Structure 1
Amino acid sequence: MVNVTIELFAPLFLSIDRVGPFQQRMEVFDFTDANNEPCNVYLMVSKNGRGKTTVMELMAAMMGMLGKFESSGVGIEDLDRSLGRAQWDIKVTLNTSGHQETVILSLLAGWMGEDTALKFWSPEELQTHGATAWHRFGFVRTTKGGLYNMVGRNNHWVQEFNALIDSSRGERLASFDGDALTYPTLIYFSAYRNIVRLDTTERAIVAPRDWNYQPVHVFDIEGQDWRSSLDNLLVWLKWLDDGRFEDAVQAINERVFKVGAPQLDSGKFLKGVRKEPPEAVVVSGEQEHRLDKLSSGEKSLVQLYLRLGAHMTRNTIVLVDEPEVHLHRNLQYETLFELFRLAKKNYPHVSVFMATHSERLMKAFALDQAEENLVKGVYIIETAEEEAKAEAIAASAHKQSVV
């Protein structure tokens, strides 16, 4: 029996053309450092409306192609109905029954015309990244509004890798906050993170929606239905009785409520779940209340850490849009450093991508400060006009200094 382990699944580049705000030129995001190593913490910075969210939504949509053999669209309008196109280059290392191989996998989507890629990999570029082969997979259109064609249909490596992902959907994860499963997954948290009250009285002990391994998980507003709620997740973990519930409660109490931390303890803690109605219980002082009664910042963090712990595999790409939203300055820093710790602990298998317009967060990111097991990257998204203006100012300053 062939045993396949995915040793690495790390983003390298993302090329975007005619998608969302990226209409003037092809935008290429370089997710590597000066030594061509994949970044495991990456910050995208721009004003509102420049495309930070578009990038994250695009990555999630393209990751969702894995494990599929046909498609009618990826869920991005500019890719599905217009002339938008994208290519995401990922470094993949497989260990097949003791034989290790590193390749570049390019995910493709959108209108390609007669092209077969936006970035072509030469043997020299492959060698730079320690890869021996380049493989392409995705769903593209050759005519505007036409049907999707599968790229890689005749590629044996692509077919084997795709079949591996497809056959692994729903496979059981055995632990909280990290797992032995090596299949790649992407977990995307939108900027609209909230927990709303569950109005339904139809609550049963049932597996959460998209439980266990999936290539993509997207989270925004929690509690809109029972199976997708955090209450259901905690009730389910309690029912499983395999240690993950206790780990989840500990993670929330330590990371969100700072239980036991001198001068940081909020005085609140996640007590557990009650039987009737089945839901999570938070204690504040002598009062008990539901998750939706927490502050906006607390709800955002509870969702972040519970979902990460429940759905991470060994190879996880984490996308967090505006990690600072609704958070006090101290909690903004603490959240950033907690995500750093996550990347450090799981180096080089977990990559954390954040999008912000906060100058404070950018300074705290400290791009020029080297830290063990952190490979940092920053991309400032500017329009062509803004970039030209910045270059002109820099050139003028250089000229004056020379004179």
Structure 2
Amino acid sequence: MRLSRLSVSNFRGVREFAITDASSLPIAVLTGSNGAGKSSILEILAFVGRASGLGKNVIGPYGSHAEVEASFTLNDREFEILDMECRDKLGRPAEKKGEYSRRAIIGEGKNRQISGSEELEVAFSPEFRASHPFSVMTLIDSTQIFQLKNSPRISLGAPFNPQATVKSHSGWNHPAVDTEGYLASLDYESMLANREGAGGEDAFAGISEQFRKVTGRILLRPSSKRTTGSSYISVALPNGHHHGLEGLSSGQRVALGLLCLGHYLKTTGGIVLLDEPEAHLHASLHVPLLNAFRDLTSSSQAVMVTHSREIVAALPPRCIIEVHRDSGKGNQAHRPSAPYGVSAAVGHGAADDMLMDFQLVVEGKYDEDDLLSLFPDEISHARIVKAGNSHEVMGHHRSLAASLNRLPWLCLRDRDLMPKEETQRLSSEYSNLHIWPRRAIESMLLHPPLISSVFLTTVGYKILEGEVEELLRELADPLMGEVAETLAHAEINRMHPQPRRTDFSSVPELNRASARVHENRASAWEEVVATQRDLVQDRWEEEWLDLVDPKILLRSLQGKTKVFGRHQFLKKALMTRAGQDQQVRPPGVEEFRIKLERLRASV
């Protein structure tokens, strides 16, 4: 059984919510901002499916009653089973339909009006659900931690029955209410199958292996406690020690419960409603545990509420339903289209568009840490994409500009050693590009007021702004040669580019051409370096702070002053102060902050 359509109106904070064509989705994920009504939608769906009751004050402010209508589909096997039950209970065969609907009108007090398909009334009856779990809907809320008592008893009602057979085994304990019993039942079934030579899946071993991959711990087979006559499941730790299931942390209990629940759905069918299953889990576990609910059969479905970027990003857009806060403008459910947000080439998908305020493309792997030191509040709301280098940043800009992206975005790159004219040209041609006014982000920290303030307030080292500038210049002048050689290297590559493989018919020809390029580069090196030294010398007086390698200069500054233990600590202190104190913030950093502020304001 699967949910195919759902409409909700005036239930708690949900004014209007409606989805269709959900029966094709093995997993349907509701995401969006807090207060949009996602958990309320699960609550009323569980009520319609007789998985739970309703709390108090459920009628919203938009009318005198709340209303919900849900439709479900059955596969052929499920219909045949329900048909036999309808003949017995209703005195007639079940009517074959594409979907079966159930409607509830909820008034004040205990006023409930339930109507709809008689077939669903039979399917949701306690008697039918007890023997046919495909019609069972299970709600797992965000507070449930899968309690483990570790005295497992299988569904036959005894720890072990030597006369039992696989055929006589009546089923498994439900993992949502008896996780350890479910595991014991799986192990028991495997034991019976081995005794009869039936073979097949060893489900206990499969879950144990999944649990090991997720947590590093191994579930051991149930064993008997002779003193009490009960069974017991142990967990083996990486250090060789053992403890019982009751010794698992809350996150490990959730992980084990979800693994068992995923297996149960695949085996028996049914619908599970998961409200923020990631609540007790580290982000690294979100996707591995989501995988437990992949490849569900047509008898099963998972409907999930989540705030996890990892979970949403791991699913195709068709599985995502974004729930908007009520704006009085119709349906709060929004389905992302195929090109939702930016193209896949940029490296993110629906999750980032829904759960973050804007996207920021940067060059290197350390840029995110630097920017978080500068502006932690602003950057914490950004989806950071690490392009790899300045060339890739420009490629991302072109992709984003040509996409259907509705998330505000900005590309950030170093100036490197570009002339001012080239920087101005790129800034005018690429409207969402920010280029640091100096060579790199660290160059922005070479600001005398900032350095003077950090030295004084952090360690009590008093140095005037003019003295800082003189010291920086003294340390920068010996680095002029590095600038000339860097420029010379770029010029040499431009003058003598590497040959392209497609221009040659054989590898030996390509190798000989490459060797000639290296010979030409070596011959031209001294002359090109000398030319660049002269050019740098001409620019140095006015542009030395723009040209010098800031990483080397910061190391030299720390080595000279020995104010901080390491130059990385100096850099961190400068970043933090530049973000906190506008009075000493470098102008280029303030310009970047204003752009971030405008991005967030445009959301």
Match for residue 362 of structure 1?
312
> How many pairs does the alignment contain?
295
Q: Say if 2:226 is the partner of 1:272.
A: no
1:256 & 1:186 partners in 2: Cα distance?
A: 25
Correspondence list, 1:153-164, <5 A: 158-159=117-118, 162-163=121-122
Give, in whole Å, the separation in 1 of the partners of 2:170 and 2:26.
Answer: 24
Deviation at residue 145 of structure 1 after TM alignment: 3.6
Do the aligned partners of 2:7 and 2:17 also contact (CA within 8 Å) in 1? Answer: yes
Q: Which residue of 2 aligns with 1:105?
A: 100
Whole-Å separation in 1 of the counterparts to 2:123 and 2:314: 40
Q: What is the distance in 2 between the residues matched to 1:16 and 1:385?
A: 16
Task: Call closer, same or farther: CA 1:107–1:27 in 2, change over 3 Å.
Answer: same
Q: 2:115 aligns to what?
A: 151
From 17, 32, 35, the equivalent of 1:27 is: 17
In structure 2, give the amino acid aligned to 1:60: A
- CA 1:357–1:236: 2 relative to 1, 3 Å: closer
Alpha-carbon RMSD across the aligned residues, in angstroms, is 4.3
Cα deviation 1:144-179 (Å, max 9, x = unaligned)? 446545525xxxxx44553465443432xxxxxxxx
Distance in 1, Cα, partners of 2:74 & 2:186: 32
Q: Does 1:75 align with 2:50?
A: no
* 1:46 equivalenced with 2:32 (yes/no): yes
Q: 2:145 aligns to what SS in structure 1?
A: strand
Shift in Å at residue 311 of structure 1? 6.2
Query: Unpaired runs of 5+ in structure 1?
Result: 1-8, 66-72, 112-140, 153-157, 172-180, 220-227, 259-263, 368-375, 398-403
> 1:131 aligns to what?
none
> Does the 8 A contact of 2:152 with 2:184 survive in 1?
no
State the one-letter code of the partner of 1:359. R
Q: 1:163 to 1:247 in 2, by over 3 A?
A: same
Partner of 1:90: 72
The aligned counterpart of 2:249 is 295
Q: What secondary structure, in the 3-state scheme, does the structure 2 residue paired with 1:192 have?
A: coil
**Structure 1 pair 164–384 and aligned structure 2 pair: CA distance change class (3 A):** closer
CA contact (8 A) 2:266 2:300 kept: no
Structure 1 residue 88, shift from structure 2 partner: 0.9
By how many angstroms is 1:50 displaced?
A: 2.3
Residues 54-91 of structure 1: CA distance to partner in whole angstroms, max 9, x if unpaired? 222222221118xxxxxxx9434356997222111223
Residues 175 and 261, structure 2, Cα contact 8 Å, conserved in 1 = no
SS in 1 for 2:13: coil
Counterparts of residues 269-348 of structure 1 (less than 5 Å): 269-276=218-225, 278-284=231-237, 285-310=239-264, 314-340=268-294, 342-343=295-296, 346=297, 348=298
TM-score normalised to structure 1 length = 0.59
Quote the residue 1:191 is aligned against.
142
TM-score, scaled to structure 2: 0.41
Whichever of the two has the greater Rg, that structure is 2
Displacement of 1:279 after TM fit?
A: 2.8
Greater fraction of residues in helix: 2
1:16–1:338 distance in 2 versus 1, CA, 3 Å: same
Residues 243 and 309 from structure 1, CA distance in 2 versus in 1: closer, same or farther, beyond 3 angstroms? farther
Contact kept, 8 Å, 2:273 with 2:304, in 1: the verdict is: yes
Alignment of 1:121-270 (within 5 A): 144-145=108-109, 147-152=111-116, 158-159=117-118, 162-163=121-122, 166=125, 167-171=127-131, 183-196=134-147, 198=149, 205=153, 207=155, 219=176, 228-235=177-184, 242-243=192-193, 247-258=202-213, 267-270=216-219
Cα separation, partners in 2 of 1:26 and 1:204, compared to 1, 3 Å:
closer
Question: Match for 1:168: what amino acid?
Answer: F
Greater fraction strand: 1
Measure how far apart 1:364 and its partner are: 2.5
In the alignment, residue 96 of structure 2 is paired with which amino acid?
Answer: E
SS at match of 2:204: helix
What letter is aligned with 1:355? V
The one of the two structures with greater contact order (alpha-carbon pairs below 8 A, sep at least 6) is: 1
Match of 1:384 in 2: 326
Decide whether the 8 Å contact of 2:12 with 2:57 is kept in 1: yes
Structure 2 contact 6–70 (Cα < 8 Å) conserved: yes
2:572 alignment counterpart? none
Q: Distance in 2 between matches of 1:60 and 1:184?
A: 12
